[in-house]
A and B are shown apart, each in its own frame.
Chain A
Amino acid sequence: MPKVIFHRDGGATDVVDVDAGSNVMRAAVQNGVDGIVGECGGQAMCATCHVYVREPHLDALPAISEDEEEMLECTAAPRDERRSRLGCQLTLGAGGLEEVEVDVPATQI
């Protein structure tokens, strides 16, 4: 089963099993991982599911769409050019990532 490891601001870690086809934002919201809001429900509209992806998963990430690129410029916590992504755009399993490890920013709003 695909897996997401969340490192929350403040140090706690959540390891969450995810259904194939789901994404990092949904995994966080469904499992009550603090620090990920997902206010728009996963349409790259609100930039409140911002995460910093850890090595060694950076190369396995899907390409950033133009819309995600524009939203990433407006995150509440500073963007990291290499590591910042919107969790709703990171699909797990089913041709997507099998495992991903992310840092949750200090703020989303």
Chain B
Amino acid sequence: MCPRPRSERVVVIGAGHAGVQAADALRAGGHDGPITLVGGEPVLPYQRPPLSKEHLAPGGTPVPLPLRAERFFADRRIDLRTGVTATALDRTSRTVLLDDGAALPYDVLVLATGAANRVPAVPGADLAGIHALRTLGDAQALRAGLSRARSVLVVGAGFVGLEVAAAARAHGPAVTVLEAADRPLARALSREAAGHVAEVHRRAGTDLRLGEAVAAFTGRRGRVTGAVSSAGTEYRADLVLVGTGVAPRTALAAAAGLPVVDGIVVDECLRTPDPAIYAVGDCASHPSVHTGTRIRLESVQNATDQGRHVAAAILGGARPYTGVPWFWSHQGALKLQIAGVRLPGDENVLCGDPATGRFSVCRFRDGRLVVVESLNRPADHMAARRLLAAGRSPEPGRLRDPAFCLKEFAREPAVA
């Protein structure tokens, strides 16, 4: 392997969690060449998770938490360009064009372009009062709307939808959630855990309607007044939050001829077929050792871990990415944490008593622990992350012992 010159020019497109972490880790890892970090929003890069949680809470802080202090970028000689978007990628001349007219030559390019919200293709989707939540701007508009809203409709019981529903309830208005699937968080959670999540929201006063999609939004004078569901039911709302999933932002890569299949296709070291280009975070589809399939993850952990990983690869330490995926969500009094990636057909075994509101669902594949969904049981979650990273698994039968504790098991010496 040829050692790379340390003066190479690295350009990172996207200043979210993945892009900022990649730039940080490159410099921290000893890269001496120019690093340019391009972000589409006209603000200092910020933490996204609080936008759907404490940012929306009554009395919560409206000021976003930066990912790094402003001086961090100058101190590290990271050329941060905000409020500009990459419009074209010329792989032959190794140049990225920006919408402010700049042309950035690169030796190594990292695509950290993230994802964009999907908008349901139904009548009325462009009415005022219909919000989505992805950016700080979205969060500020939603926060202002929630302080005035009398009735809120949330479309989609995914993480963002349920977090906003919980925050909206705390502001006082009536909250209805429409979910097309037969349970909330259907893509992420087992039936057992999802059932408990549904109950928590219903107990908080949220009207959770399962098996109902939105068919049309209704409005008056350009403002939303409600929606009609696929079941024909009419719902009134003066504020709507649409949380119906995201699509990876792959247009730049696709137009440059890079393969895209639900995400920019990268190898196990996060490199595209063009050896000068990597992709990380929400926009990248990578082969996972945890599922044996190609996956694309939408999470802060995946973004930051892949940011660190790609920096190591650029510095000459390319190795397969094997980080254990984990996720979390805060919904009112519910703290939900997931370690691992589920596949259909995994066997669910309860750990703890759901009636206490503190329990975990452990999922086994071929008799091995692959996922732990923890509800208000952070110790289980942390133990699970350790066990999954080490490839250790309890016998599924041991979980049926009420005295079994995942945390204690994680402390047992590993059996060779």
Contacts and interface: CB of A to CB of B under 8 A. Distances in A.
Contacts of B66: 29-30
A73 interface: yes
A31 B69 CA distance: 5
B65 A32 contact: no
Contacts of A74: 379, 382-383, 385-386
B235 interface: no
Contacts of A77: none
Contacts of A70: 377-379, 382
Nearest to B303: A39
Given A29-B69, A32-B72, A73-B407, A47 B382 contact: yes
Contacts of A39: 300-301, 304
Interface in A32-72: 32, 38-45, 47, 67, 70-71
A38 B65 contact: yes
Q: Max chain A CB contacts within 10 Å: which of B49, B53, B301?
A: B49
A41 B337 contact: no
A3 interface: no
Given A41-B47, A43-B53, A67 B65 contact: no
Interface string B43-68: 00001111001100000010001111
A26 interface: yes
Contacts of A40: 49, 300, 328
Interface residues on B, range: 20 to 34
A84 B179 CA distance: 42
Interface string A64-101: 00010011011000000000000000000000000000
Contacts of B71: 32
Contact of A43 (B49, B61, B67): B49
Nearest to A22: B61
A34 to B, nearest CB: 9
Contacts of A31: 69
A90 to B, nearest CB: 15
Contacts, number: 63
Contacts of B378: 44-45, 67, 70-71
A87 to B, nearest CB: 12
Q: Max chain B CB contacts within 10 Å: which of A29, A31, A41, A44?
A: A41
Nearest to A43: B330
A85 B72 CA distance: 25
Contacts of B49: 40-41, 43
Given A32-B75, A39-B300, A45-B337, A71 B382 contact: yes
A32 B66 CA distance: 10
A44 B48 CA distance: 16
Nearest to A33: B69
Nearest to A45: B328
Nearest to A26: B65
A32 B50 contact: no
Q: Max chain A CB contacts within 10 Å: which of B330, B377, B378?
A: B378
A74 B407 CA distance: 10
A51 B54 CA distance: 23
Interface in B370-391: 377-379, 382-383, 385-386
B218 to A, nearest CB: 36
Contact of B65 (A21, A29, A47, A73): A29
Nearest to A109: B308
B335 interface: yes
B35 to A, nearest CB: 17
A15 to B, nearest CB: 15
B328 A29 contact: no
Contact of A42 (B50, B328, B385): B50
A17 to B, nearest CB: 13
Interface string B14-53: 0000000000000000000000000000000001111001
A32 B69 contact: yes
B335 A32 contact: no
9 contacts: A21-B61, A29-B69, A30-B65, A41-B47, A41-B48, A43-B335, A45-B337, A67-B378, A70-B377
Given A21-B61, A42-B54, A70-B379, 10 more contacts: A29-B65, A29-B69, A30-B66, A31-B69, A32-B71, A40-B49, A43-B53, A45-B328, A67-B335, A70-B378
Interface of B: 47-50, 53-54, 61, 65-69, 71-72, 75, 300-301, 304, 328, 330, 335, 337, 377-379, 382-383, 385-386, 407
Which 3 residue pairs are nearest across A and B when measured between Cβ atoms? A32-B69, A74-B382, A70-B379
